[in-house]
Amino acid sequence: VLSGCGVYDGTEIHEASAILVHLSRGGAEVQMYAPDVPQMHVIDHSKGQPAEAESRNVLVESARIARGKIASLARLTTADHDAVIFPGGFGAAKNLSTFAVDGKDCKVNREVERVLKDFHKAGKPIGLCCISPVLAAKVLSGAEVTVGHEEEEGGKWPYAGTAGAIKELGGKHSLFSLTPFYEAHVDTKNKVVTTPAFMCETELHNIFDGIGAMVKNVLKLTGK
């Protein structure tokens, strides 16, 4: 499930690409979806600032990553899929929810909420990375996720405050260890698998490996 195209106003592209690579390697068939709604705003990524008087559609922008093969999130059903995965990027906090603005009082896009609840009820695994675990924390009360550490540790975890928000949203936060490998956290009870990805200032291959661990565990939980 994508949220646009670009880290500051949509899907983090490296994360989406890594997920697709690991899913392909795992032999999975993939269908991509995004909500057919306007973006919260558009960011000029060369300046890191909002582009005034510009608007874009989340589905249309997500189609860039999907190479055009994408459908409206309203068409996603549990009957047709074994699992669902949400990449990160600020789009998860801006377009899939209002977390970027409202924090613990955020609202989640109704189709995103429906998908999360439907997959959870069906006992089918849900994968999330980077900032997107806030969606599960908000919608699935008591779900245990990780967004990394709860302290910045000299800038290594610049978004450490998100861990506190996870708890305020009703979720449980698991501290993440970088050793011996960059892996994923598995909430076996709720079948929710998370990894911090770009929540940490680390080398790209660590992020790629962590996403790989998340995907591997999601596929394992499908039982196929």
> In this predicted model, what pLDDT tens digit does every residue of 94-130 receive, in sequence order?
999 999 999 999 999 999 999 999 999 999 999 999 9
Q: Longest C-alpha distance within the chain, in Å?
A: 48
The H or E element that residue 127 is part of is strand 126-129
Cα distance between residue 18 and residue 132, in whole Å: 15
Which pTM does this prediction carry?
0.96
What pLDDT is recorded for position 61?
A: 98
Alpha helices (H) in 68-200, listed in sequence order: 91-94, 99-102, 110-121, 133-139, 161-168
Whether a cis peptide bond, with omega within 30° of 0, leads into 180 is yes
Asked if 39 contacts 9 with a C-beta cutoff of 8 angstroms, the reply is yes
Residue length of the chain: 224
Q: Per-residue confidence at 175, pLDDT binned at 50, 70, 90? A: confident
Known catalytic residues are 130
Strand-pairing partners, residue 85, are: 127
| CA distances for 72 relative to 1, 36, 173, angstroms | 10, 6, 31
Q: Average pLDDT, stretch 185-212?
A: 96
Which tens digit of pLDDT belongs to each residue from 123-173? Answer: 999 999 999 999 999 999 999 999 999 999 999 999 999 999 999 999 999
Domains in the chain (CATH in brackets) are 71-222 (3.40.50.880)
